Structure 1
């Protein structure tokens, strides 16, 4: 079995000891080469243990994040994504800001064709907040896709029975 050379530069994957950062740190994110850049396909991450802090009260907020993207040349390595998301643990930010920050960081990291992030936050004070943000590469059909998905992302909201 031949080893991929592009994975040698990944510093988190395969390490016996994992160091967790408790402050927001986008430098934790790492990428590897997409072996199928000639094909459009989705990659989806489900992150059911996302936490951040309310910037006013310091109380914890909990969410499930859904991160979906269509890669181009680079893909995000999943352990680095996990460590990056964990770095929000003591970060004070509103739900909407966290989701938009994640979109911005992943777009800067990978330059994907398309990316979307949905946050399903558990209620606090009787209200749940579910921000959605996306990106489509400008000047491509993915830009149009992003516009359409944004307009129709919540046309058929789910029945909330798990929060």
Structure 2
């Protein structure tokens, strides 16, 4: 079968719309998914999101980051426009960097029930310190559960050269 049927795309409502409402406060209900046509294959889907913005919960000042999301889908894939709008919804959300990364991961787990997922936030420095939280998950009872543990244990053993981004 080539392409996707209307039935397969029934849950995708944002893609192709010219006028989209932006949510300026955290809204996980924006996320949409569609069926994975290759659930028997293990493969990574990676999103690089270099324009993430949230607010410091203490000062209200903006925090900027590149968010990396990589996952091995099971039955569902996240629709990228809905992901973009979802990440935008953090714009006025006040939370610490570590919280944002874990919230994003948990919302995607709830939506997709992926075999494996990792979310890595690389935040720009504030006060001379950059914070790069990382969270991951492997589906229980699968080899991905073990892979998540191993990945976390060895995560960032060879960090990149920091040049103030």
TM bracket, shorter-chain basis: over 0.9
- 1:28-43 to structure 2, matched below 5 A, reads 28-43=30-45
SS state of the match for residue 8, structure 2? helix
Q: TM-score, normalised by structure 1?
A: 0.97
Distance 1:148 1:63 in 2: 25
Partner of 2:105: 103
Cα RMSD, aligned residues only: 1.1
Distance 2:119 2:3 in 1: 34
Change (3 A) 1:162 1:124: closer
Q: Find the counterpart in structure 2 of residue 71 from structure 1.
A: 73
Partner in structure 1 of residue 49 of structure 2: 47
Which structure 1 residue ranges, 5 or more long, are not aligned? none
Question: Segments of 4+ in structure 1 off by > 2 A?
Answer: none
How far 1:38 sits from its partner (Å)?
Answer: 0.6
Corresponding pairs, count: 163
Q: In structure 2, how many angstroms separate the alpha carbons of the residues matched to 1:62 and 1:137?
A: 30
Query: Which residue does the alignment assign to 2:19?
Result: 17
Pairing 1:118–2:120 present = yes
Structure 2 residues not aligned, in runs of 5+? none
Measure, in 1, the Cα distance between the counterparts of 2:9 and 2:139: 26
TM-fit CA distance, 1:52? 0.1
